[in-house]
Amino acid sequence: MNFHQGLIFFAAASALIAQPVSSYRYTAKGDERIVEITNVNYELVPADLVLRTTTNIKQNLGDIGVEALTTVEAWKLGVDLKTKPLYTVKSPGTDSRTVDGEVFAISAGVEEVEWWSVYSVATGAHLFDTYVPLASVNIDRASLTMRYIGLEVPEDDTKDARLKDPHVVAVVSYASSEKVIREALITCDDSKQAAQLRSFADESRTMNAGTELAPAVHLSFSQNYPSPPATVSLTIPIAKDDLDLAHAQLPAKMHVAAWRR
């Protein structure tokens, strides 16, 4: 069976196994109106694993935001699901989505800030968090070698003191399905501009990973309406399965350097 046939097989198998199980409860008490929803979904992924994703959502209809917890559990295909799973991942979030059968991204932003937490399908290991939709690219034309890219924008209450530096803009993560290969710190000499680029209320960010023939991190920051976009863009090439920081194309006053947690 070649790779494409395998994808067709697993897609068909996933369609058969992905039978959702859901529950719903509505409670009214005084001025409170509370909705509780539980969704359970099973999925077969190409690593011969069965994933069970359970999402619990509780919302008070009079409040902003929701309480949400997503749990992902994995078993080898054919194993009794009553036995202990290979791993269990629990994260705040409203859903989980598998990408290429190699990683899964939990939508962890349950209030005003949208972000995703990305994990390895094979091991359940946490890879990185991203505040833009997860980007992916095949870096090898001869074979399928997928790489995954995210952008972490530090919030004001970040636990890493280094990210509290007023010149910090964001961290780019470049990973395989098994591990983080490279992290890069983006900074700006102008602390006022850095604060603008970090802003969740006033700034929007987009990112893509280029193409198989020209893989690269293309990142743009634009101010939200009614301000003019004043778009700031940068490009970091991908070469030799790494971020090519030496050849990054950056606006004036901005820098990118290797960084490690």
Q: In what order do the strands lie in the sheet with 135-138?
A: 135-138, 146-152, 168-175, 180-188, 254-259
Rounded CA separation 161/98 (Å): 32
Rounded CA separation 150/136 (Å): 9
Tell whether the model's pLDDT for residue 44 goes beyond 60: yes
Q: Which of 25, 241, 248, 17 is nearest to 138 (CA)?
A: 241
Q: What pLDDT does 190 receive?
A: 97
CA 34 to chain centre: 29
Residues 6+ apart with CB under 8 A from 8: none
SS3 call for 65: coil
Q: Are 108 and 119 in contact (CB under 8 A)?
A: no
What is the band of 6 on the pLDDT scale with cuts at 50, 70, 90?
Answer: very low
Residue with tokens 């897609």: 11
pLDDT digits (tens, 9 = 90+) for 16-28: 444 456 888 888 8
Q: Are 221 and 194 in contact (CB under 8 A)?
A: no
Q: What pLDDT does 60 receive?
A: 81
Q: State the pairing for strand pair 180-188/203-210.
A: unpaired
The highest-confidence range among 57-66, 103-112, 181-190, by mean pLDDT, is: 181-190
Q: Are 204 and 222 in contact (CB under 8 A)?
A: yes
Q: Which two tokens stand for residue 121?
A: 């399908």
Burial 217-233 (b: 16+ CB within 10 A, else e): bbbbbbbeeeeeeeebe
Tell whether the model's pLDDT for residue 8 goes beyond 80: no
Q: What pLDDT does 21 receive?
A: 64
pLDDT digits (tens, 9 = 90+) for 91-145: 999 899 999 999 999 998 756 788 999 999 999 999 999 999 999 999 998 889 9
SS3 call for 26: strand
Tell whether the model's pLDDT for residue 15 goes beyond 60: no
Residues 76-88: what's their mean pLDDT?
95
Torsions phi, psi of 222, nearest 5? -135, 140
Q: What pLDDT does 2 receive?
A: 44
**Identity at 76, one-letter amino acid code:** K
Q: What pLDDT does 20 receive?
A: 55
Q: Are 97 and 119 in contact (CB under 8 A)?
A: no
Residues 42-71: what's their mean pLDDT?
87
163 DSSP 8-state letter: G
pLDDT digits (tens, 9 = 90+) for 213-246: 999 999 999 999 999 999 999 999 999 999 999 9
